[in-house]
Structure 1
Amino acid sequence: MMLKLIFLVVAGVISGVLESTVGLASLVAYPAMLLAGFAPIVANVTNTVGFAFSDSSAILASQKELKGQSKIIMKVIVFAGIGTIIGSLILLNSSNKSFENVAPIIIMISGILMLLPKSQRQLTETHMTWFGKIITAIALVLVGMYLGYFGAGGGVMLIAILLRAVNQPYAICNAIRNFVSLILNWISAVIFMFTMPINWVALIAITIGLLVGGYIGPSIVRHIPSKIMKYGVGIGAVVLAICLGIKTY
């Protein structure tokens, strides 16, 4: 049992770094829970609650990037939050299978969006058109639904939308994503804590690691050029989508 808990702490540290830098904590945390012998639904729910506790350390380490971004954060939270509530409620009455099937497609689209260069107009304009705002709002609700229902790779989807919609460097978009993820994970966590099976011992172990990794991540992003982070995450998302696609289909 002790070895299993140590394994989850180590997995949590790696997951925390991945979560706070690229939004891919589930890439390590979810398989680690399965390897430790937990059922898929328990692994998914326990991780979501763990992320709710651990995202706070990433926020503490991202104060510099979050300065002056409260307006954008509130808008993103409103639309994505609506989706997260819907997604969490859907999960209570269904299995993960249907969203597992669409996950590779959504992650692939997110990766491609990150790799596509912005047009000259997008680079210079400071205000989004009404059409752009509507599309962004719909996209945020859909990503929120996905995060509340299944979650794996949801951070990549969120950062992809922010990079297209917000004319800011990767480090700032990532800090906004971390803050939004904190709120969205808490929405799901509150629902799950009263309705779904959670392994509390495993939760404590993986959360310890996530807190450490989450604090380390933002300082890594701060020292890596925005373009390298953006294209690195984009390529990683495409590779992840292919791997998930092979496994799913």
Structure 2
Amino acid sequence: MGNVRSRPVNTGQATLLFLGGIGSGLTGSMAGLASLVSYPALLAAGIPPIAANVTNTVALLSSAAGSAAGSRRELRGQGRRILRHGVAGVAGGTAGALLLMSTPSDAFERIVPGLIVLGALALLFREPLRAWYARPGRRPPLGVAVFLIAIYGGYFGAAAGVLLLAAMSLAAAEPLAVTNAVKSIVLGFSNVAAAVLYALFAPVHWTAAALLAAGCLIGSWIGPALVRRTPEKPLRVAIAIAALTLAGFLWHTA
């Protein structure tokens, strides 16, 4: 664990992590896809899967901060709503982190490809999933949905933002930019809860986390301005295809 925390990063890896952070912040704030960019960047930098996962969660705290700064217009008057769902996010994120820390590393490596496929499918079939979820009798209370999604977010997190955005968009008739901004902050609550446990008990690679976080802060600050005027469907499809390719590669190597 100690070796992972202090493993040096060369110039090429540092550049990859910083640029991956910018891409992660952009896609996370625009479409809830942060981990589908940042996690592969950490793997490409040579960080083992569990260390990459916990490092990713810690680094993505800056994504929530950047989204909050870039979404001040959309977040006006949303304080009570954020606090209410944030409580469920904290509970779920804590549960997910505890679950991850009790999962053996070899088992996690076998589970990850399936989780990435789940995230990719959620992207590709987001509209049909929304329609199915909206049918009478199939939609749990939003607080329950937030809690369950936060467990997934604390455990792994790829496309957790997509799932949370889908759930929250069904519960409120408002512009997508507002729902997206609230989603980013609520997901941030989940990440904070998990990150505290990871910082204390898991093999966080702090140099990689700092580089990734710096890029995430920039990307997530820019993202809300772009989401107001940019169609995100092509982005969703491209990242979903890349995620399926990554899942296939990880499944083969595992």
TM-score normalised according to structure 1 size: 0.82
Counterpart for residue 211 of structure 1: 217
Matched letter for residue 101 of structure 1: G
Q: 1:3 corresponds to which residue?
A: 12
Percentage identity across paired residues of the two chains:
31
Report the equivalent of 1:126.
none
CA displacement, residues 28-80 of structure 1 (integer Å, 9 cap, x when unaligned)? 21111111111111111111101113320110110100112223222322223
Partner of 2:5 in structure 1?
none
Pairing 1:64–2:73 present: yes
Which residue matches 1:101? 114
Aligned to 1:81: 90
2:181 is aligned with 1:175:
yes
**SS at the partner of 1:37?**
coil
Describe how 1:113-124 pairs up with structure 2 within 5 A.
113-115=126-128
Map 1:87-166 onto structure 2 (within 5 A): 87-95=96-104, 96=108, 97-98=110-111, 100-105=113-118, 107-109=120-122, 111-115=124-128, 134-166=140-172
Distance 1:201 1:25 in 2: 19
Q: Counterpart in 1 of 2:54?
A: 45
Equivalent residue of 1:54, what SS?
helix
Alignment of structure 1 residues 16-27 onto 2, 5 Å: 16-27=25-36
Question: Using the alignment, how far apart are the partners of 1:2 and 1:182 within structure 2?
Answer: 29
The offset of 1:98, in angstroms, is 3.6
Deviation at 1:240, TM superposition (A): 6.0
Residues 105 and 241 of structure 1 are in contact (CA less than 8 Å); yes or no, is this contact kept in structure 2? no
**What are structure 2's unaligned runs of at least 5 residues?**
1-9
Greater CA drift, 231-240 or 210-219: 231-240
How many corresponding residue pairs? Answer: 236
Q: For 2:83, give the aligned amino acid.
A: M
Quick one: which amino acid aligns to residue 8 of structure 1?
A: L
TM-score, scaled relative to structure 2: 0.81
Deviation at 1:148? 0.6
- Shift of the alpha carbon at 1:165? 1.8
Residue 55 of structure 1 aligns to which amino acid in structure 2?
A: A
Q: 2:190 aligns with which of 184, 189, 206?
A: 184
Q: Distance in 1 between matches of 2:48 and 2:83?
A: 35
SS in 1 for 2:158: coil
Which amino acid in the other structure matches residue 50 of structure 2?
I
Contact map agreement 1:73 1:179 (CA 8 A) in 2: yes
CA contact (8 A) 1:99 1:146 kept: no
Check whether the contact 1:84–1:187 (CA below 8 A) recurs between aligned residues: yes
Separation (CA, whole Å) in 1 of partners of 2:83 and 2:138: 18
1:14 is aligned with what amino acid?
A: G
Amino acid at match of 2:98: L
State the alpha-carbon separation in 2 of the partners of residues 241 and 112 from structure 1.
14
- Give the distance between the partners of 2:127 and 2:185, measured in 1 at CA: 20
Distance in 1 between the 2:18 and 2:45 partners?
Answer: 12
